[in-house]
Amino acid sequence: MNSTTKKITTISMLCAFAYAATFIGRVPLVLFLKYDPKDIIIATSGLIFGPACLMFRRIYCLFS
């Protein structure tokens, strides 16, 4: 398998996990503060795949 195809597929799967984590794991800590686990997934994928992946995922999650 081409490494570019594998990278795009992995980024897409991590993006789907972050989207699902938004609906499953949003926990209100205080009335005005909420814990959102998707940020952990986004930061981890940014560290693994670099800053370009991090910016793409952050923009995608803002508009979805």
Per-residue pLDDT of the chain in tens (64 residues, 90 and over written 9)? 677 788 878 888 888 888 888 888 777 777 777 777 888 887 888 788 777 766 766 676 666 6
Tokens of 64: 């979805």
Q: Residue 54: its pLDDT value, please?
A: 65
Distance CA 51, CA 24 (A): 26
Distance CA 28, CA 50 (A): 30
How distant is the alpha carbon of residue 44 from its chain centre?
Answer: 8
Are 18 and 10 in contact, with CB atoms under 8 Å apart?
no
